[in-house]
Structure 1
Amino acid sequence: MVHLRIFFMQLPKTAEYALRVMVEIMRQGVDRGINASDLARLTHVPLPFLFKVLRSLVRKRLLLSRKGPDGGYRLASPPESIRIDDILRAIGYPSGDGHCIFGWKRCGGAHHCPLHSSWKEVKSAFRKWAEGTTIDQI
């Protein structure tokens, strides 16, 4: 679990917000939509930023959006089928090994940063968790 805590400290705000949003929509129940204003209040995500996140999640078909009095945002699939990895990919979070914690453009092979080996372990543990964990499990 230490690996996961370290990795969560590295998540960009967009990823954090997307996870908050998806879990809150799940908590609302599958039969009920929630509007953006209520969602912003419940998740503490600024409304302009929330719209950006919602757009990405709808575009990747993780959420459904309906206008009108019975409208709002709903999960597009059952929560037990939506993986954390799906959410992160929807907002453009890279799941590959390309990111160097030191910001080096080329980190690997013979030229790797001082944390390369340790960070690779952390990323691998996080990736495994994100691919195997659904939103109903968190």
Structure 2
Amino acid sequence: MISRQVAMAAVSMGLIERAGPEGLQIPDLVKLTGISRPTLGKIINALARKKLVRTQRGVGGGVRLSRAGEQVSLYDLCVAFDDPVIECHCSFGFGHCAEEGPCPPGCICVAQHAKQLEYLKATSVQDVAETMEPRLKKAARRARRGRER
């Protein structure tokens, strides 16, 4: 499973992609995602350091993608955030798996990991935004209600 940080980055980038070349401002992303402003700020700063987004302060500023959302995969984000999901760990607790390594015969770790990497590389942040939009609206409403209390 990908980390929460990678998931939030993917959703944010997908929404920025859908906003077009003008991008989005942080307050707009907070409203759309329900992610707290400090958390979202950290994620956007990390994405900017990895050159996945560009940020600009002031009037006309905001966050824009450095490349099209369809060109940024979940795998790219996992690498950018050092997500452990991209490493293969033995189901039997022997550490990192390899094609020829310490795993017992018949261990399916390597095959499962290969499938997982295939999915991460094939799924773009644009794909995530398209499938998550209905859920995001609900999450944003819940977050706003929680802050109003």
Q: Point out where structure 1 has 5 or more consecutive residues left out of the alignment.
A: 1-9
Task: Report the counterpart of residue 50 of structure 2 in structure 1.
Answer: 60
Q: Distance in 2 between matches of 1:28 and 1:44?
A: 17
Name the CA shift for 1:41/1:106 in 2 (closer, same or farther; >3 Å). Answer: same
Determine the C-alpha separation between the residues in 2 that align with 1:73 and 1:51. Answer: 11
**Aligned residue identity for 1:12:** S
Q: 1:125 aligns with which of 88, 112, 115?
A: 115
Superposed, 1:57-136 pairs within 5 Å as 57-94=47-84, 95-97=86-88, 99-100=89-90, 104=93, 106=95, 108=97, 109-110=101-102, 117-136=107-126
Q: C-alpha distance in 1, partners of 2:18/2:44?
A: 16
CA contact (8 A) 1:66 1:73 kept: yes
Q: Higher relative contact order by CA 8 Å / sep ≥ 6: 1 or 2?
A: 2
Letter in 1 for 2:63: Y
Contact 1:33 1:70 in 2 (8 A): no
Q: What is the letter of the counterpart of residue 106 of structure 1?
A: G
User: How far is the alpha carbon of 1:118 from its aligned partner?
Assistant: 3.8
Match for 2:3: what amino acid?
Answer: P
Structure number, greater radius of gyration: 2
**Paired residues, what number?**
123
1:86-136 superposed Cα distances (whole Å, 9 cap, x missing partner)? 122112213222x4567x463544456xxx934433321120122233333
Report percent identity of matched pairs. Answer: 25
Structure 2 unaligned segments of length 5 or more: list them.
129-149
Instruction: Give me the whole-angstrom Cα distance separating, in 2, the residues matched to 1:49 and 1:105.
Output: 34
Q: Which residue of 2 aligns with 1:22?
A: 13
TM-score of the superposed pair, with normalisation by structure 2: 0.69
Structure 1 moving runs of 4+ over 6 Å: none
Q: Compute the displacement of 1:68 (Å).
A: 1.1
CA contact (8 A) 1:53 1:91 kept: no
